Amino acid sequence: MRILITGGVGFIGTNLAIEAIKRGYEVIAFDNLSRKWTEENLIYMRKNYPKNYEFIWGDVRNKEDYLKLPKVDAVINMAANPSVMKSLEYPEYDFNTNTVGVFNSLMFAKKLGIPYLYASTNKTFSDITNLIPTREDKKRYVWDDMQGGFPAIIMNGGIDFDKWTPKAINDTFTIDGYGRYGHSIYGIDKLCGELLVQEWGLEYKIPTVIFKMSCIMGLFQLGVEEQAWVDFFLRQIMLGDGKINIFGTGKQVRDVLDGRDTARAYLDALENIDKVKGEIFTLGGGPENTFSLLEAIEVIEKLVGKKADISFHPKRPHDQDIFVSSLVKIKEKLGWEPKIKFEDSLKDMIKQYED
């Protein structure tokens, strides 16, 4: 099988390519190399996987670039502007990449009649998530007991519960912000992409799967301040001046997932496409792998033996105080669950930077 990975030289794209090659597939990595330092990933892949890996320069925004591509058996779309802040500054670029780019890649998949897997985001859920009752502990926000009742717009499905306490958000949680709760420009453009993928699956019978992803981190990430925060924190503390800007209290919580586990989820879905076509999965580390920003910094400080120099700033717009992905459906459908713990991911990242 030959797989096309759009955004194939990026962080998750590189992890996907490695996992796919290990499973015996050929990989076409389609990328415009717009992300700083991605050339390093390309050099690594060409050196270590010369036989089953091919890079083709192209931009998902340009229909003409798809004419360069050979026949493939599946598309995994990882191409995106992943930055909320960049989407606010450059909304046209974000729309053309995160929505028009999806349309163009879907047209390519339709032409060949092949499966299409789409990387979406938890930002397709608005910051209405901040209405979930929350208490503030010393180092993190914690979802609180909901026995006393809660707005019907959220209670209509979408939350996994441990008794009366929210445990995780699943794919049936409302995507509507009701004109009062924002998704960010990035989140809305990714949501447009989701709806296109769903409709193409229905109208053109393309087997599709959507993953709404939480905090993905790991090897080959090369993160920046506004996006890929775990990797950015690590490099600032380990290799930089230690200065970290926290927007808000730092008690915001995310479920973290290693890029290699992420790659397994996508390829498991592709290999079982007849079983999961049409499905939407929330994908992250789940309730067992959650960290606040402050907690993550403490783990990094311990591992590298250096302290961070933290500055606090006003909270950014549309920031979710807590987001934890439900893994119930993906475990039931694919038997998939995270294998790599946060500290082990960090140790591997540290080793990669040391080398």
Report the range of poorest mean pLDDT among 92-96, 228-232, 278-282. 228-232
| Number of neighbours of residue 341 by Cβ within 10 angstroms | 14
The two structure tokens encoding residue 277: 């076509």
- pLDDT surpasses 90 at 112: yes
Residue 137's pLDDT band (cuts 50, 70, 90): very high
Task: Report how far residue 203's alpha carbon sits from residue 49's, in angstroms, rounded to the nearest whole number.
Answer: 37
Cα separations in angstroms, 211 against 26, 241, 257, 263, 296: 22, 35, 13, 11, 24
pLDDT value, residue 149: 66
Cα separations in angstroms, 199 against 41, 62, 110, 329: 33, 21, 12, 21
Burial of 313 (C-beta count, 10 Å sphere; 0-12/13-18/19+): exposed
Relative orientation angle of helices 293-304 and 342-354, to the nearest 10 degrees: 50
The two structure tokens encoding residue 103: 């349309």
Provide, rounded to the nearest whole percent, the portion of the chain with pLDDT above 90.
Answer: 89
Q: Which of 134, 187, 119 is nearest to 321 (CA)?
A: 134
pLDDT value, residue 228: 83
Q: Which of 210, 188, 169, 194 is nearest to 317 (CA)?
A: 188
Mean pLDDT throughout 312-329? 95
Taking a C-beta distance cutoff of 8 angstroms, is the pair 337, 182 a contact? Answer: no
Query: What per-residue string of b and e applies to 37-73 under the rule 16 or more CB within 10 Å gives b?
Result: ebeebbebbeeebeeebbbeebbbbeeebbeebeebe
Taking a C-beta distance cutoff of 8 angstroms, is the pair 181, 187 a contact? Answer: no
pLDDT value, residue 151: 66
The two structure tokens encoding residue 159: 């939350």
User: pLDDT of 4-46, one tens digit each?
Assistant: 999 999 999 999 999 999 999 999 999 999 887 899 999 999 9
Provide, rounded to the nearest whole percent, the portion of the chain with pLDDT above 70.
Answer: 97
Taking a C-beta distance cutoff of 8 angstroms, is the pair 79, 29 a contact? Answer: no
Mean pLDDT throughout 215-238? 89
pLDDT value, residue 153: 63
Mean pLDDT throughout 208-233? 90
Residue type, 15: N
- pLDDT surpasses 70 at 156: no
User: pLDDT of 287-303, one tens digit each?
Assistant: 999 999 999 999 999 99
Q: Which of 271, 349, 283, 260 is nearest to 15 (CA)?
A: 260
- pLDDT surpasses 70 at 155: no
pLDDT value, residue 163: 87
Mean pLDDT throughout 96-124? 97
pLDDT value, residue 35: 82
The two structure tokens encoding residue 212: 């709404």
What residues does 121 pair with on adjacent strands? Answer: 213
